[in-house]
Structure 1
Amino acid sequence: MLVSALIRRVQDSGGFASVLHKGDAISGTILVQCLDKGKETGLFERISDYAGGYRLVACGPDKDGGPHLVADYIARRRRSDPDLWLIELDIVDAERLAVETLC
């Protein structure tokens, strides 16, 4: 439900959003790959804040390291966690929209 809401919100704002890997509907970890006009702006993971809520934290390699490093990181994460969701957002302020929707 959260993933669908995020995708609708990005598309309603004029951006592109896609599910690159569908995880477990109830307990899957959510990774959000943020782009702006096709350029990587960050990779974020939704994690518990241990106070009953969630937050989005940066994860993976430095975005300036190149797309192959991000792809390798995502492949490793998918191998170790088959329940993982991978969502791609291509819009200005993708991180802000993800935080407002997922946290």
Structure 2
Amino acid sequence: MDGRLPAHVEVNGFVRAVQAVGGFGMVLHKGERDGGTILIVLVDNQGLGVLYERMPQLDGTRKWQESRVQVSDNKSDFDDYLNRRSQQDCDVWIVELTVADRERFIRDNLTPA
């Protein structure tokens, strides 16, 4: 056993954490209940998203890292990428979180203690 939380529990925790600070969270794509990969889209005040996913590190851990940024002059490219990811991996979870202070949310919820 690897000590990892089931995906559905972790996703629920992210949504509740955002709601606790007055934000909004929703699941865009529901993946495999226990072991699915989780992608987090943090949306800013302008409606632009930044995609975070866990990336393997040299020490064997998996750290949340920014992997894609939505730009205002081509929003559809970002959405197309998310659609491709969900079609390529039916086990993936895509969670959209809208929060006023994105940097604080990242620091408090996506970085290891």
Return the TM-score normalized by structure 2.
0.75
Which segments of 5 or more consecutive residues in structure 2 lack a partner in the other structure? 1-8
**Which range moved further: 20-29 or 6-15?**
20-29
**Residue segments in structure 1 that go unaligned for 5+ positions in a row:** none
Tell me the CA shift for residue 45 of structure 1.
Answer: 1.1
> Structure 1 CA distance, aligned partners of 2:56 and 2:108?
15
1:63 aligns with 2:70: yes
Tell me the distance in 1 between the aligned counterparts of 2:107 and 2:34: 19
Length-normalised TM-score, structure 1: 0.81
Which residue matches 1:11? 19
Give me the whole-angstrom Cα distance separating, in 2, the residues matched to 1:81 and 1:95.
28
The one-letter code matched in structure 2 to 1:24 is E
Task: State the Cα distance separating 1:21 from its structure 2 match.
Answer: 0.8
Structure 2 Cα separation of the partners of residues 97 and 34 of structure 1:
9
Q: Which residue of 2 aligns with 1:47?
A: 55
**Range moving further from structure 2, 10-19 or 44-53:** 44-53
Indicate the RMSD between aligned Cα atoms, in angstroms: 2.1
CA distance in 1, matches of 2:91, 2:36: 5
- Higher mean Cα deviation, 7-16 or 26-35? 26-35
Q: SS of 2:43's equivalent?
A: strand
Taking the aligned partners of 1:100 and 1:24, their CA distance within structure 2 comes to: 26
Percent identical: 33
Runs of at least 4 residues off by over 4 Å: none
Larger Rg: 2
Shift of 1:66: 2.1
Which of residues 91, 95, 100 in structure 2 aligns to 1:92? Answer: 100
1:31 and 2:39 aligned: yes
